[in-house]
Structures are given as structure tokens and as C-alpha cells.
Amino acid sequence: MRFRTVMALTGALALSLVTGCAKGGSAGSSAHTVTYWMWDTNQLPAYRACAKGFERENPGLKVKITQIGFDAYWTKLTASFIAGTQPDVFTDHIQKFGQFSDLKVLEPLDDLGIEKSDYQPGLADNWVGEDGHRYGAPKDWDTVALFYNKKMAEGAGISTGKINALSWNPEDGGTFEKAIAHLTIDRNGKRGDEPGFDKHHVKVYGLATGGAGDDNGQTQWSPFTGSAGWSYTDKKRWGTKYNYDSPTFQSVVKWYFGLAKKGYLAPLEVYGDQANPPNAQVAAGKAATAFDGAWMLSTYYGAKGLDVGTARTPVGPTGKRATMMNGLADSISKGARNKEGARKWVEYLASDACQTTVGAYGVVFPATPAGTRAAVAAYEKKGIDTTAFTQPVADKKDFTTFSFPITNYAADVYALMRPAMQDLYGGGAPASGLDTTNSQINFIFDQ
């Protein structure tokens, strides 16, 4: 059923490309204007500054930027492809790349001269499709680390050095679980590792989370599955078999969600859903720690009354730490009206000229090394230590970095995995039940 839905959408989009081109493509665009869509309001000032720089170098061209909230962004973008009102250029996410590539709504960017050596490792490679053509110019990157309430950690006798030296395993949780248990406090003041601890009436959870992690677990369980040596699919890119039936994966998520049963991790029905993000839980004193992405640095450090620190992800059974390294890109719509202007704009977005400008705002790590250095310097001026996020990129001896799974049918994988992981987290379903879900996912690729 899901497979037929995707095929129907493919047909609708293919038809829209014809009608869209007939209509003139991107609504509101002209030979003198490049339309650009993005979702992050925090980055809007930085990209407005880039647009001014671009317009100075390209007299007669203007960039019209439209910012749309993340959730609505993808709905409106997909609808724009169908209606033929798509932007010339848009911020693209690696999770959507497979679907957009398969639906043929992206313009090849092979002639832009993107060299992978000009960007942080792996970022440029991720945007090459199955057909060998490039469809995205590297924009920025992020990793995941552990945010923690310094006052709570100090009160629990957990030093900065200790929280950066944690390790874990799926059998007993290692020193990581011990730390999380000790940071957990019930309404009577008992810690999670003390006799008499009441797991049903917890005042402060040792660990916050933002949902069950769906199909990728970026800021939930991925640091653990990654450091256990597990991979999402059978290939690094464009795999055709998912591995959610792996004993390694299932042992990790069973342990991870087991923390909720012990009272150390907020249960789904209390603070574990996406309506209560980890940063809000930590800022409100409801949780002592949370794994989160580098894009949240300014949010955590800007929380009133919170003295926050960041720590590296814990060492896993492989002897390494692990973090997802995600990288966004800028893509051109195949139905763009102003393709010549769009190419010039994307080329500028991927250059040091724009990326150092963006970096200087200290809201994200741009894809080029120079842009990254500018961001680190900007964060340092704000008193923000970025080491826990930047070290994994440079230190391949102690860290493993990995990407979102890059495959076709990403929307279908999400639709199947989301309820399965919700059941595991909030419904007490056994991890072995993921065998069936994994079979359903792989069946789609076999058609």
C-alpha cells in the first residue's frame, strides 16, 4: 500500500514538472530574481548578509529569501513541486534527498566544480545520486553531544572530567548508566541508585529525550547504536536493505528504552514526546542531561538561569565514541525559472565568501573549514565551548561519525518505523518485534 502511494506521488510530480515548466516554473521568480527557501529562522540574518554580498558581486540579480518553519517547510515544498510554484533554490536535507532524487525534481550541479576536498570530510560525497550526478552543494554540518546541567552534575559529585570519560554497554549500561541513575532524583530526594528510590514519582530525570527517535534516532539512540558498530543499511549510501532486525541494534534500543522503565529516562507519556524537547526539560530543571545537536548550542547556552556544559558522547563496545554527522546542502529545483541565477547563487552559497559570513554569526558550523573556523571563533566570543561537537570531525582515532541513511523511500521507512519505535518506548513492545517492521521495509525495496 505504501509502495503504491509513493508511485502515485511520483506520477503526480512527473506531471507537475511538465505543467510547471509550461507555467514558467518558480512562482515570483524572474530573470532578475532568485527565489530561495530555508527553514531556520536563527540563520535568516546570516543568509540575508550573504544575499547582499552576492548582489554586490552580481549586479542586476536579487535574492528573495522565504523562511518557513521546519515541519511546514517540507509540506509546502512538496506541494510547490506539484503545483509548479517551487523555489529556484532551497535548503535540502539528506533524509529527503533520496526521495527528491527518485522523483527527479532536482537539477544536476555537476558543472559547479564542487570539490569534496574543499569541505569537511564526507559532506560533498553525500549529495551524489545513484546516477552519479551531484544534486546538492554542501552548506553546513552538525554533530551530537551531551548537554548537562553543571550545577546538578557538581551536586551529584560528577566532575567535568568524569562526564567526559563515560562509557556504556548494553548489558549493564556501564559508567554512563551509573551517572544517569545518580543524577535522577525522586520527589523525596532519593537518587536513582539509592535504596528506596521511587521510579514512579521522579522530580529530576537523569536523561531527557525528544521522542522515540523514529527511523534514525539522531539525538536519541544513534550515539549508542553507532558506537556499538551498527549501520542502518547494507551500504554506506544508497543501500537497499535496512538492518533494524540486527541483534546488535535491538540489544541497544532495548537497553536505551529500558532506562525509562528504571525511572532514569523520562517516559514517553510524561516528557518524552516531541512536544517537550530536551532543551526545555533541561532548562526547566526537569532533567539533568540530554543528547542534542550542535544547532542547539545557542539555545542551551541562552537559557535563563541555566549553567550548561557539553560533553563528548560515551565510549561504546567498539572502543570508540560515535555521533551522527549530518550535513545540509543547497539544491536547485529542476523546474526553476531562473536557473542561470540559481547556479550563481548556489555557487556563492558554497563558497568561503558566504560560509565565513554565516560562520561569523555563530549559529551553525558551515561546510568549509574556513567557515567552521569562523563559527568556532564566534561561539568562543559568546563563551560557548564547541569542542564536544568539533572534535569528532578531526579525531578519527577515538570517534566514529556516520550519516543519516541515504536511500530511496525514506518517507515509507519513517512511516513504518515511527509507530514501531513509539510502541517500543511507550508501549513496552519487545525489540524483537522490529523483525517484522524491518521485513516490511525491505519488501518495499524488493518491488
Q: Collect the ranges in the chain with pLDDT lower than 50.
A: 1-25, 27
Check whether residue 51 and residue 183 sit in a common domain: no
In angstroms, the CA 262 to CA 191 distance is: 12
Q: Are residues 197 and 280 in the same domain?
A: yes
- Residue 305 and residue 233 in one domain: yes
In angstroms, rounded to a whole number, what is the distance separating the alpha carbons of residues 216 and 220?
9
What CATH number is given to the structural domain containing 303?
3.40.190.10
The identity of residue 37, as a single letter, is: W
- Give every CB contact of residue 353 below 8 A, 6+ residues apart in sequence: 53
Looking at the fold, whether 416 and 377 belong to one and the same domain comes out as no
Nine cell digits for residue 112: 559547479
How far is residue 415's CA from residue 418's CA, in Å, rounded to a whole number? 6
What whole-number distance in Å separates Cα of residue 92 and Cα of residue 123? 13
Domain holding 423, by residue range, is 144-324+409-446
pLDDT value of position 213: 95
**Residue 167 burial class via C-beta count within 10 angstroms: exposed 0-12, middle 13-18, buried 19 and up:** middle
Query: What is the pLDDT, as a whole number, of residue 4?
Result: 33
Same domain, 204 and 301: yes
What is the 3-state secondary structure of 43-104?
Answer: HHHHHHHHHHHHHHHCCCCEEEEEECCHHHHHHHHHHHHHHCCCCCEEEECHHHHHHHHHCC
Q: Are 173 and 255 in contact (CB under 8 A)?
A: yes
Q: Which of 223, 229, 248, 250 is nearest to 166 (CA)?
A: 223
C-alpha cell at 211: 521522542
Note whether 294 and 423 are same-domain residues.
yes
Residues 414 and 315 grouped into a single domain: yes
Burial class (CB in 10 A: 0-12, 13-18, 19+), 188: exposed
Count of domains for the chain = 2
Decide if 208 is inside a domain: yes
Residue 187 within any structural domain of the chain? yes
State residue 272's pLDDT score. 66
Rounded Cα distance, 258 and 236, in Å? 29
The answer to whether residues 178 and 63 belong to one domain is no
Instruction: Report the candidate in 39, 83, 21, 58 with the shortest Cα–Cα distance to residue 340.
Output: 58
Same domain, 201 and 272: yes
Gap between the Cα atoms of 237 and 234, Å rounded: 9
In a domain, 268, yes or no: yes
Is the residue at 192 inside a domain? Answer: yes
- Convert the pLDDT of each residue in 52-106 to its tens digit: 999 999 999 999 999 999 989 999 999 999 999 999 999 999 999 988 988 899 9
Tell whether the torsion through CA atoms of 266, 421, 223 and 165 is positive or negative.
positive
Distance CA 137, CA 193 (A): 49
Tell me the pTM. Answer: 0.91
369 in a structural domain: yes
Residue 402 lies in a domain: no
- Same domain assignment for residues 114 and 182: no
Statement to judge: residues 159 and 148 lie in one domain: yes
Per-residue model confidence (pLDDT) at position 21: 42
8-13: long-range contacts (C-beta < 8 A, 24 or more apart)?
Answer: 9/103, 10/102, 10/103, 12/82, 13/81, 13/82, 13/103, 13/104, 13/105
Identify the pLDDT of residue 158: 98
User: Both 306 and 355 in a single domain?
Assistant: no
